[in-house]
Structure 1
Amino acid sequence: MPAPDDLTAAAPAGPDATVKPTVSVIVPVHNTRDYLDRCLDSVFGQTLDQHRIEVIAVDDGSTDGSAERLADHARRHPNLTVLRQEASGGAGKPRNTGLDRATGDYVFFLDSDDRLGPEALDRLTRMADRCGSDIVYGRIVGADGRAAPVDLRTTSDKVSVFDSPVYWSLAAYKLFRRSFLETHRLRFVEGRLLAEDLPFGIAALLRADVVSVLADHDCYYLHGREDNSNASRQDIDWCEYLDYIGTVLEDVEAQVPPGAQRDKLMVRHFHGEILMPFGAAYLARDLAGRQRMAAAARPLVERYCTDRVRAALPPGLRLRAHCLRAGLDDALTAVVRADTEGQPDPPHLGDDGRVYAGYPYFRDPERGLPDACYDLTDRVVVRQRLIRRRWAGGVLHLRGTADLPPLGADTVEIVLQRSGAAHRVPARYADGAWQAAVDPATAADGGPLTDGTWGLKIAVTAHGEAGPAGPALRREAWLVPEEGAGDEEFAPRIVGRGPAGPSVAALFLSVPHGHLHLDLDRDGARRPLGDDLRGTADRTRSGRAALAARLTLPGCPVDAELGLVLHDATRSVALRTTVERGAGDHYTVRSLLRSGPPGTWQVVLRVTAGPFRRELPVRAADGRTPLTLTVPGARRSMNPLRRTRG
């Protein structure tokens, strides 16, 4: 017997109905019994207290046993309410039903074939509380063959739809402040299987005061189904769909004035909705069906595909848009077939120094397709991996892979860049792999690098068929070490710079992008040596003071002098010091004192290598307290000590 239209609760209210939940999780369900345990268990396993979570599952006329499975979960989880309604033909109506019933400060829409990361709700709600967010995007992860719509890489308290990638993910699965949704009466389109969340997502983003991004935790897992039954993979009446997209874009047009900002939004819609059907679905239709699809899309191209939008599209979509506007159905079919049934010919570097995609009819006089439709020059970027970085003898050795897809590469250079200055260091390159040696003594065109912070880039050059005598394309990119690489090479070290004298060199990564930099500091103040320098001060049985210190000192020259020194407010005393050099740049220094000037002295380690001289404070075992030595009133001579001035 079919379920009635009015809603019935399949579970009692939560354990304490007087406690208002922090977040209501709304789960639309339609024939997803095989995935319900995974979905709901991800909610019941949240680190956020279950008393603060209200779960509302809306069964939209399931016939596969989903209703019974929901009832079983409701018996075991008092914070789950199950509502039932007739099948509505899409996720919009069950989401609206759940939203009307929700009581939480926030709502989160979770599809019943997906799941949450274990800390998602705790992290998302805390960020919303802290930032006053109307919407919080959590990082989305694709699973089981399904890709995430956008890769959110940077956590941000507040972003704009015009300067961040959030507009590229208009789907429902994110956190919303419920009062914000109610103030603007935002609801989903009902009865649609595909793109029912577009008007909701667009209106929410354009009206929100604060949109935040939580990118440092995997919040939402977007799963593909084994039977490819996800709504986005179903057969669609594409002409009707394109007419519907036209009404959606009319709303965008009404809310965003013409210009660069509106065009940024339209680029996403040409990628995601307008040109998306022109693939396998287009080729599967007969000639008349293809012509109807083209006729449905043509008004959208004519109205919204400005020159700025067209230039922002990749060549395959740019050609589709041009063919639709110009009524070139044969050329449109050839372009779609090149992408769908095979692949375009390899791109090539033209005699004008531009890179052109290998789609059909390039410079065919009978077709007259503009070169600009094929041009992908501005889309060619360096693909590179920095596999290894290693210091040896004061020289930084780098190794990695690099090319310019789809052109390959012919030469590679390392570029050191700072304050308008740039120096190039050639790399050995073969079969996609490169090696380079950056010597601070010679890297500045044969001379020493000056003090300061140097960014490290890789420059890759590809030549055309004419070789080095013909046109070439050169691109640069920041060097970024692979994740998980060791950090031992980031320790400050002493390096030689020829006539410029030794300096303290340190590698570090910029924040937040992780670009590799080299800091050269003659004074050693920005990134001091001896971070692990620890020492002890003991008394021997004969009454002598025994000082010992250990540290790692990368790059220390073999002829360098290391000595312990005592300082007070006005005096310095250099001690006779023995030095033991161990493996891995580890040093142990010791001094033995019978007597000395009375007072309390701070212990430092003096490092001298030619003109290079640094005094490094010795700390006690806790790493925080400076190591001091107290000498009582002297009774004997200072034979063990050599006294110096300052």
Structure 2
Amino acid sequence: MPISPQPANPAHGGPAGPAPAVSVIIPVHNTRPYLPRSLGSVFAQTLDQRRIEVIAVDDGSTDGSAAWLTAQALHHPNLTVITQPASGGAGRPRNVGLSLATGDYVFFLDSDDHLGPEALDRLTRMAQTHHSDVVHGRIVGVDGRAAPVDLRTTRARVTPFDSPVYWTLAAYKLFRRAFLEQHRLRFVEGRLLAEDLPFGIAALLRADTVSVLADYDCYYLHGRPDDSNASRQELDWCEYLHYIGTVLATVEAEVPPGPDRDALMVRHFHGEILMPFAAPYLSRPPDGRRAMAAAARPLVERYLTDRVQAALPPRLRLRAHCLRAALDDALTAVVRADTEATPPEPPYAADGRLYARYPGFRDPHHALPDACYDLTDRVAPRQRLTGRQWAGGVLHLRGTATLPGLHGTTAEVLLHGPAGRYRIPARHDGERWRAAVDPATAADGAPLPAGLWGLKIALTAHGAPAPDADPADTAVHREAWLVPEPDGPGEPAAVPAGPRPRLVGRGPDGPAVAALLPAGPHHHLHLDLDPDGRRHPLGTDLRGTVTTTRTGRATLTAHLTLPGCPTDAGLRLTLRAGDRTLVARRTTVEPAAADRYTLRCSLHGVPPGTWQVALRLTAGPLRHDLPVRTADDRTPLTVTVPRPSRRLRLR
């Protein structure tokens, strides 16, 4: 979209030298109280200011914003300020800024939001590394405003169809400027709301590479105390819905019918088509409500496929059905039920399904289909694993878990493994649960077989009996993988999973080395039982020394932590040279607190040569040699026995 008259009154220092890495474009309209925070976050970037071009376009402010910006330009040579008459939205100021930008990349920052200090450095480096046309940084909502989407995984390449990036079509992200010029992408001008939809849609659908930077809080999206954000303003909703129709027509032209287009339409039913049918709808008189419904009905009829309808939650599914069927009274009742302050009632349960308790359910006067109310597939456990520890060879787990909106919850821990599926009862009290997993009895009273076992929490709860349903048929069953909590701020939830590997008894099957570890892309918690002790090393802190008296008598001493070591286990120090192994005739074992052990033996009659020291662990059928390292952990501990008449030499 071309930009007609040249904006007036530029004030700038004009950054000298080569083109900047990134141009930050900031549309401004009566946001004077927020400008120090917004502009300040740009001037505080870790990226060199000589590589940042800042273009602030004041769009007819009347609160002194333009004067403040002009004064700042005197102190910041990389800031250019443009003033122009009010245009009625952020579209024209952004277009003006884009026409003046010289950076390799462009970032659009709203003047009431701010950036994380490392945002521009991280975003531009990611774009350069992966040749990205668009980079979505992680967005954080503050001051009562929610982020449009929670980006959790950093990925070099995503598409609108395999990631949540399409759910945030707003402008605040990094774009390669040459890509924007190649496709002549510009914002719709003169609109207060949704002016960035066509721009964001075209950018995502035409980009060769879209990347996500989710491991840093790049953009802070602020709410305003006076609730004056553009998205909160009163609009002509009928005109707005007509405009959305023109936007969706471009999506229809870009994406053929099928699952991909439907996935995008689900987002638009959430974000644009059904969004006005809340407080704005109820605030109108009956004829105004009918006009809004009439404006939305063509969009519902054209884009609400069976796949889209099934993907919507009941509150939106019901709205869409009522709009399409011209059920104005039912629509008003559903919208009113969502806006009332009364707490939601438990959902109905019948025939193994759950139904939202909205007006009209199984009411013969409305004849709304049960499918509009069905939320069975949307009820998921809300749970956290808060503790995991071993005590006496038993794994103790604890956490919190609920099925939101249901009551009478009971819990079990499920073990999924190569030999089957076993249930461990859990004590559940309100939201908290505890369970004890004993490998000696976990397989329905028998020893748990060796192998990798996934750990889940299984919940059973109850809904309210549906009309004309059997009151006994209200049970709902759900399962969820247990995932370790992070051990500290910024650490991934996957590491570490729990206590160090240990020996556990399994009755007649003998002991095994047990380890808790995350597995798979989602870091689900698993219990690995290794009867050979090969996959998870024991005694990783095993250290030793050799001391020699003046008479040549040598003593070997070793220290280690060995969780779960049975009292009848054999612990003997050994010496190995080539294919020869000598086992100490007598090893003294001194246990201490916290599973610590000290072992000693005297070296008598050892043949000459260089011998590597190890600790032999024997527990039932398990026999494992653990290497001993020097006290400084630099090399394996070795003993050199000289030929007769020479003293013992240590290394």
**TM-score between both structures, scaled by the size of structure 1:** 0.94
Q: Distance in 2 between matches of 1:378 and 1:371?
A: 14
Q: Distance in 1 between matches of 2:548 and 2:384?
A: 54
Change (3 A) 1:545 1:573: same
Show the 5 A alignment for 1:28-107. 28-107=27-106
Letter in structure 2 aligned against 1:526: R
Letter in structure 1 aligned against 2:581: S
Aligned pair partner of 2:543 in 496, 516, 534: 534
1:479 paired with 2:478, answer no
Map of 2:177 onto structure 1: 178
What's the CA shift for 1:620?
A: 2.6
Aligned pair partner of 1:616 in 620, 623, 626: 626
Aligned pair partner of 1:547 in 556, 559, 580: 556
What's the CA shift for 1:11?
A: 1.9
CA contact (8 A) 1:543 1:594 kept: no
Q: Distance in 1 between matches of 2:606 and 2:252?
A: 85
Deviations 1:491-547 (A, max 9, x none): 110011111111000001235423211111112222211222223344444444443
CA contact (8 A) 1:338 1:344 kept: no
Change (3 A) 1:409 1:455: farther
Aligned pair partner of 2:567 in 550, 558, 561: 558
Map of 1:514 onto structure 2: 523
What's the CA shift for 1:85?
A: 1.6
CA contact (8 A) 1:409 1:432 kept: no
Q: Distance in 2 between matches of 1:186 and 1:20?
A: 21
CA contact (8 A) 1:28 1:58 kept: yes
CA contact (8 A) 2:418 2:451 kept: no
Show the 5 A alignment for 1:438-449. 438-449=437-448
CA contact (8 A) 2:498 2:517 kept: no
Aligned pair partner of 1:499 in 479, 499, 508: 508
What's the CA shift for 1:221?
A: 0.7
Map of 1:577 onto structure 2: 587
What's the CA shift for 1:271?
A: 0.3
CA contact (8 A) 2:314 2:373 kept: yes
Change (3 A) 1:430 1:59: same
Map of 1:643 onto structure 2: none
Deviations 1:344-397 (A, max 9, x none): 752434331211111111111111111111111111111112221111111111
Show the 5 A alignment for 1:451-470. 451-464=450-463, 470=473
What's the CA shift for 1:323?
A: 0.7
Q: Distance in 2 between matches of 1:418 and 1:636?
A: 58
Q: Distance in 2 between matches of 1:250 and 1:165?
A: 21
Structure 1 window deviating more from structure 2 (598-607 vs 389-398): it is: 598-607
Show the 5 A alignment for 1:359-438. 359-419=358-418, 421-438=420-437
Show the 5 A alignment for 1:13-24. 13-14=14-15, 17-24=16-23
1:10 paired with 2:11, answer yes
Q: Distance in 1 between matches of 2:232 and 2:634?
A: 60
Change (3 A) 1:89 1:623: farther
Change (3 A) 1:533 1:348: same
Change (3 A) 1:365 1:468: closer
1:231 paired with 2:230, answer yes
What's the CA shift for 1:619?
A: 2.1
Map of 1:259 onto structure 2: 258
Change (3 A) 1:76 1:595: farther
Q: Give the 3-state SS of the residue equivalent to 2:10 in structure 1.
A: coil
Change (3 A) 1:409 1:203: farther
Deviations 1:417-439 (A, max 9, x none): 13483211121223232211111
Q: Distance in 1 between matches of 2:461 and 2:170?
A: 40
1:194 paired with 2:197, answer no
Q: Distance in 2 between matches of 1:74 and 1:419?
A: 68
Q: Give the 3-state SS of the residue equivalent to 1:556 in structure 2.
A: coil
Structure 1 window deviating more from structure 2 (591-600 vs 409-418): it is: 591-600
Change (3 A) 1:622 1:128: farther
Map of 2:167 onto structure 1: 168
CA contact (8 A) 1:401 1:434 kept: yes
Map of 1:151 onto structure 2: 150
Q: Distance in 1 between matches of 2:27 and 2:556?
A: 71
Map of 1:593 onto structure 2: 603
Change (3 A) 1:592 1:112: farther
Letter in structure 1 aligned against 2:577: D
1:332 paired with 2:331, answer yes
Q: Distance in 1 between matches of 2:606 and 2:223?
A: 77
Letter in structure 1 aligned against 2:475: A
Q: Give the 3-state SS of the residue equivalent to 1:158 in structure 2.
A: strand
Letter in structure 2 aligned against 1:338: A
Q: Distance in 1 between matches of 2:326 and 2:506?
A: 66
What's the CA shift for 1:48?
A: 1.5
CA contact (8 A) 2:349 2:473 kept: no
Q: Distance in 2 between matches of 1:114 and 1:409?
A: 44
CA contact (8 A) 2:348 2:356 kept: no
CA contact (8 A) 1:344 1:358 kept: no
Q: Distance in 1 between matches of 2:499 and 2:598?
A: 22
Deviations 1:560-580 (A, max 9, x none): 232221111121122343322
Q: Distance in 1 between matches of 2:478 and 2:621?
A: 40
Q: Distance in 1 between matches of 2:536 and 2:471?
A: 43
What's the CA shift for 1:322?
A: 0.7
CA contact (8 A) 1:554 1:585 kept: yes
CA contact (8 A) 1:502 1:522 kept: yes
Change (3 A) 1:194 1:469: closer
What's the CA shift for 1:635?
A: 4.6
Number of equivalenced pairs: 633
What's the CA shift for 1:34?
A: 0.8
What's the CA shift for 1:7?
A: 3.7
Q: Give the 3-state SS of the residue equivalent to 1:583 in structure 2.
A: coil
Aligned pair partner of 2:614 in 574, 597, 604: 604
Aligned pair partner of 2:643 in 604, 608, 633: 633
Change (3 A) 1:636 1:102: closer
Q: Distance in 1 between matches of 2:220 and 2:127?
A: 20
Letter in structure 1 aligned against 2:337: A
Q: Distance in 2 between matches of 1:556 and 1:357?
A: 54
Change (3 A) 1:171 1:569: same
CA contact (8 A) 2:610 2:640 kept: yes
Q: Give the 3-state SS of the residue equivalent to 1:271 in structure 2.
A: helix
Q: Distance in 2 between matches of 1:214 and 1:581?
A: 50
Change (3 A) 1:633 1:262: same
Q: Distance in 1 between matches of 2:229 and 2:534?
A: 58
